[in-house]
Amino acid sequence: MAIEFENSTLKIDGMEFTLKHSILGARSDGELVFVVYDYSEFLQRPARNLECFDKDGRLL
């Protein structure tokens, strides 16, 4: 699975998804994609800046 990201855009195998926050990092375990957002964009602490997506871009 090919993962790329820039700002708030995540690409999974060439499919682009615009997310709600800037992405600091993204990794795949082969089945799922784990995205860490820039915590400074969150008002609440601790920031809930980790989300998981399937290969079709659906939030889990």
| pLDDT tens string 22-49 | 999 999 999 999 999 999 999 888 889 9
The Cβ of residue 11 has, within 10 Å, a number of other Cβ atoms equal to 15
- Partnered with residue 37 across adjacent β-strands are 23
Residue 45 confidence (pLDDT):
85
- Which of 3-17, 22-36, 43-57 has the weakest average pLDDT? 43-57
pLDDT of residue 6: 97
Mean pLDDT for 10-30 is 96
Q: Quote the percentage of the chain above a pLDDT of 90.
A: 85
- Region 5-32: mean pLDDT is 96
Contact 51, 37 (CB under 8 A): yes
